[in-house]
Amino acid sequence: MPPSELQPAFILNVPPGLYSMRLRNPDGTVMEGSEKNVVAHGRSRTGGIGYDVIPADKWTRPVESTTPASVLYVNGKADLYIRPFFEEEFNDLAYEKTVNNAARGNPTIVKWVRVHQTQGSSLGYTIVPYDPQGASKGKDPDIIAFRLSVGKGTRLIRIRALDSGGAALAGSERQIRIVGPSPYTPLLLALALCPLLAMVIALALRARSCTSGGTADP
């Protein structure tokens, strides 16, 4: 499809609020069917910091953190790739209606929305270091992120974003908790099997009792 020519439009820049819009004909009369309601909304907060946490073994399914209160849980079996992004806070219903006028949302809550979307990555590949002079020459990287190696025995990692001067950005603190296998797993498994084992023993004793029993001849 060839590109269409630039279409003329009316540019509106109004403060947040509820407005009525309508078009007038050249003779000054209102154009039939042109009356519409316009809801203009703004951001409740700006300058937030969010993160994509990408496990190397499941990098097509990143975990997103949008609030400092959210604690991220990973299994610690692979390196992590941390990708920060800026976000702004909007009313949930207003934002969803802006994206899709038929969408639904909750007017009583707010949510953080990223304001810069990085390019997505293709599926089915393994993460390897980007070498612009080697195998990656002439190609753009699929992921631009900070690599975080998880050491053996590590259970808690705290991260934060820094500005160009090295100062921590407010609201960028996060906790990443590494969940490992529980040392009590064998004991819990044994306790879970106890009822089954008791039932097997009871059935075996019952079968033995029936086999050993008999009747007396008259």
Q: What is the pLDDT of residues 154-195, one digit of tens each?
A: 888 899 988 888 899 888 999 888 887 666 667 767 777 778
Domain ranges of the chain: 13-42, 45-178
Please report, to the nearest 10 degrees, the dihedral formed by the alpha carbons of residues 119, 64, 115, 4 taken in order.
Answer: 40
Mean pLDDT within 19-44 = 92
Give the percent of the chain with pLDDT over 70: 87
Geometric angle at alpha carbon 69, from 78 and 55, rounded to 5°: 15
Please enumerate in sequence order all residues whose Cβ is within 8 A of that of 79, keeping only pairs 6 or more positions apart, or say none.
Answer: 55, 56, 147, 148, 149, 150
Q: What is the pLDDT of residues 13-30, one digit of tens each?
A: 899 999 999 999 999 999
Q: Does the pTM of the predicted model rise above 0.85?
A: no
What's the rounded Cα separation, in Å, for the pair 147 and 167? 20
